[in-house]
Each structure stands twice: as structure tokens, then as C-alpha cells.
Amino acid sequence: MEISALYHECESNYSYPLKENIIKITLRTKKDDDIKNIYLLYNSKYLFKKERYLVEIKNKISTKYNDYYYIYLKVEDVRIGYIFKIIDNNDNFYYYSENNILINKEYEFDKCDFDYFQLPYINKIDIVKVNKKFNNRIFYQIFVDRFFDGEKEEGNIINDKINIIWGDNNNITSNTFAGGNLKGIIKKLDYLKEELGISAIYLTPIFESYSNHKYETYDYYKIAKDFGDETTFKELIAEAHKRDILIILDGVFNHLAYYSPIFKDVIKNGKKSKYYSWFIIHNDDEKIDLENKNYESFGFSKHMPKLNLSNGSVQEYVINICKYYLKNYKVDGYRMDVADEIAHTFFKKLRFELKNIDENVFLISENWHNAHLSLDDGSEFDSVMNYPFTSALIDLLGYKRIDEIEFIYRINELLVRYKEASLNNVLNLVSSHDKARFINDCNNNENLALIGYSLLFLYPGIPMIYYADEIGLDGNNDPDCRKMFIWDKNKWNISRFIFIKSLIDIHKNLDLNNEDYSFKLDYLKEYKLLKVSIYNKFNDKEIIINELINLSTMDINIAKLIDDNKLILLSSNYDIKEKIIKKEGLVIYR
């Protein structure tokens, strides 16, 4: 057995409570190592020296290089001490504790005071929880300028910067102003709720800014006049809530506009400005140098100076903005832009302040990588945009640089990355305003795109649709991914719309993201099929849902896998009568 591959850590994703009396304990080993049995020896840490319970750990999930053995343990005493006992196929035995790995040597329990692993106390407040207000929602991201011009429909012109005819998607540039606004969203709420089934909207920024995207704000307390005003925004919130649609705002606080009054004051007064310390200025220079950019910014853009959110005054400034919209407009949460570049201490303080106003406020981190530090202890964010999931789908279906087995390893890596409640909270996506639309990732292969959407809605977490993906809008990277929504249904990809609508119905009607939900991927080598297995409890009944996906180059008969008693929930490229999944086809059944 490879001893160096063994890993466990107390009070981490390897050892944590799911409820006040249920804990999950995980041990990492080398993949396919020489292991016959793994046992957990445990008890109250105050009784551990005298006596222990012994239970075998049988559950296992595998990544490319490691196996993760895990157990759910129901405990009466919430102060747990434990060690692992491992037996290999030659009957050698190993004791793994916090400080030692003993080989073929008995563990000295009478001398273990400083040596065993522990979960010292289960404090209710420390348990990371599923946000039940959000966990079964279907998100919809709207890039406001490109969704719908509801003001024009009423004969109003509120945006004098419009420079394109609505629908002319061949001429989108970084400087295009199409005229979408908040009134347009209000007018399409019934479409989103009744026709599609959306229950939460994530709006790209709506605060005052000169750009079409509004990602460089100059006044956080004003609604961008291109989009409407405060009255219209209140109407949007009220009408959305009336339909049980929640509203998430884009919190762009990593940086602001170089033309904002705050930064202009520093440009004018240098070190004498009361806002000088609100920014990170190189070499403590006396003055701002716009030409040579002697200050930190978003990316390399001199137009987006970075706010110093390690500064207490800046923290208070941003927290007050978030509290203002939470209290006065009843927004339901924030997606925090560039969250991975902002101090963790700020987000801890922000969460504390906002949760004291609304315990259900939903806080989402933008982080394209591993966000465990923001989610681990539940003190910062509820959720993260799950771009690693997006990446795995693109590598499988778009770039085709991984096969089904490698995809399983990648997904399993994500399943062990976060605590289970965090997995229920993550925001899963395939398209967004920051990347090409998924159909373009799939090289315009509609069949592969549908496979990606099916996995999006079956994977643990909250699925999000980027506006107009459901009607077949395409688009490469920014600005092409920000085309205008085409409202003429004769130009829609109706089969795509029906497919996504069906996935939404399945997800909602079977409550596919509750606390009893489990997700597993397998590769059926004999059939060359990727298999999704889902276990769920719904209305006190056990539900098993499966999906078979054919990424091979041939049609596959699955008559031996699906009997006549199975209910087909959704399919694509599937011959129901002959039970044949065609190339790039799928079938979801229960």
C-alpha cells in the first residue's frame, strides 16, 4: 500500500457534520491501491482511550489518481475521536492517526491523548446548510442591454446611445447599445415563468455606468438611466416576487469606473484625497498616472481601478450599498464579480451583516477555479459559479480532449471538492456573458449541446440558463456571446426550447436537488455508454433516475438495459420502438 497517498484532515471536507448528529468522514488513498478493508474506530473523545466502536468504510468514489472512502456516521455524542485501520490484501494492517501511521503494530490507545483525529464539537451554527429558498430554483442570467426593450414598446426612448437595430446580431461590437432595459424584463416575466419555468434571475450590473455592460460603475446608488430608474426597478422586484421569481444582483465591487467621483478625487488631489487609501497605488506615489497606470486594476484595464477592500472604510462603503438594496428593494442576493481577487475577511464581514437582515440572502462567488476557501466553513458564500463543471463538459463534448472515463474522474473530483450542502448550492452553467455560448463550444453540434444541457440539469446544484440559450442563439466569446434575444418564435430552435423546458420540468417536478439527492457516473464498457445514476427521495418515495449517453461512433441497442416497465422522461436521437440510442444520442428514464 502507498502510505504517502493516505490523507485525512480534521474539521475539513474530510470530516464535517451534515446535521447535528450525522457526520461524514472521508479517507483518501492511492487509486486502486492494495486495500482489502478500511475501518473507522471511533467514540466520544472522552471515552476513546477506553473503548471504541468499529465500523467498515465501504463507500468509495474515484478520481484519476485517488480513491476516496467515506462513511456517514450517526452519533449520540457530538465530540468525536477516531482513527483509521487499514488492511491490505496480504493482511498487513495499518493504523492511521493524526500523527502516525503504524505498520503491523498495535495502536497504543492508552497513550493517544494527542494523537487521534477529532471532530471536537458539533456546533449547530457551524454546519454548512443547503439554502432551501434557492436549492430547487432554475436560474436565468440576463444581460440587460440585449434582452428586450420594453420602453420602446410603450413609446418611450430612455437610451439615447442605441446604435443598432434590434435583431441585427451580425454587427455586435464592444460598443453596441441595443436598448434592452428593466421594463423589458418586466414584460417578459410571464414568458420566463409560465413558458420556460424560470424561478430566479441573475441580472448583469444595473448601476449607473457609461458602458453597455455596466461592469465599471460610477454610482452604486442609482439605477443606470439606460435601463430605467429606481421606480422601475422596484416594479421589477415586485412583479418578479409576485410570480415567485427571485432576483440576484451583480455586485461589481472589486473595481469601479475611472471616471467615478471617488477615483476622480484621487486623480485631482493625489495623497491629499480622503479616498487615496481606497485604491492600491504603486510605490505610494503622490499622484495617479493614468497613462502608465500606477495603480491596481481589473485585469490590465486602466479604466477599472481596483478598490482596496482590505481597507475598513471601503468595506463599510460596499457593505452599506449591499444593505441598501437588500432593505429598500428586497433583492434576494448578490453574485460577487471577481470574488477570488477580494479579501476573504471582507466577505466574512459582508455575510455577517447581510444575514442579520435576511438569513436567506444568497451570496454567489465568481471564481473560475477551486473555491473551497470561500465555501468550506459557510462564513463567506453560499454558492459559486461552477466553471470547473463547465470546463469538464467542454473538454468532453467540445474540445474532445478527454473521453468518458476521464470525464468521470473530473466530475468525481468536483464531487469530493466541496461539502455536500455546498454541492447543493453551487450554480452550474454552460454559457455566460464571459464565454462563448455552449453551442459554439460544441462546434455547432446540436446533439452534443443537448447532452451537455441534460448533464447540467441532472448534476447536483442549481442549474442556470444564459438568456436565449433556450431558443438556440449562438455566439463566440465576448462580445459575440452578448447578442440580442430574437423574440420572433419563427426564428427559434423550437426543438431546443422544448428539450430545455422538459429538463426544467424534470428537475422541478422530481425535486432533483434536495438533501437526499445522490449522483453517480459510470462507463458501461460493454455498451460504450456513459451512464448517469440518480437516487432521490420525493414525497417519501425513493426515486431512481438514469441517463444513458452515446458518445461512440455507432448506434447502440439498449434493449437489455431498459425493459418495458421503464418510463422514458426525455430523449434525443433515440429510437423508442427499437430501443436504439443513435450516435450522440441520450435517453433519460426511471
Residues taking part in catalysis: 337, 366
Q: For cell 456513459, name the residue.
A: 530
Q: Can you tell me whether residue 87 is helix, strand or coil?
A: strand
State how far Cα 542 lies from the chain centre. Answer: 26
CA distance 185 to 201: 10
Beta bridge partners of 535: 518, 544
Specify the DSSP element, H or E, that contains 53.
Answer: strand 53-56
Specify the DSSP element, H or E, that contains 196.
Answer: none
State how far Cα 265 lies from the chain centre. Answer: 38
Q: For cell 436565449, name the residue.
A: 468
CA distance 178 to 528: 47
Grid coordinates belonging to 260: 467615478
Grid coordinates belonging to 224: 443606470
User: CA torsion, points 91, 96, 99, 100, in degrees to nearest 10?
Assistant: 0
Residues 504-524, buried b or exposed e (16+ Cβ, 10 A)? bebbbebbbbeeebebebebe
Grid coordinates belonging to 461: 446544484
Q: Which residues contact 348 (CB under 8 A, 6 or more apart)?
A: 379, 380
Grid coordinates belonging to 370: 477551486
Q: For cell 495617479, name the residue.
A: 288
Beta strands (DSSP E) in 212-275 are: 219-223, 246-251
Are the beta carbons of 128 and 418 closer than 8 angstroms? Answer: no
Residues 571-588, buried b or exposed e (16+ Cβ, 10 A)? bbbbeeeebbbeebbbbb
Give me the sign of the Cα torsion angle 77, 81, 86, 92: negative
CA distance 166 to 226: 15
Q: For the chain, what's the residue count?
A: 590
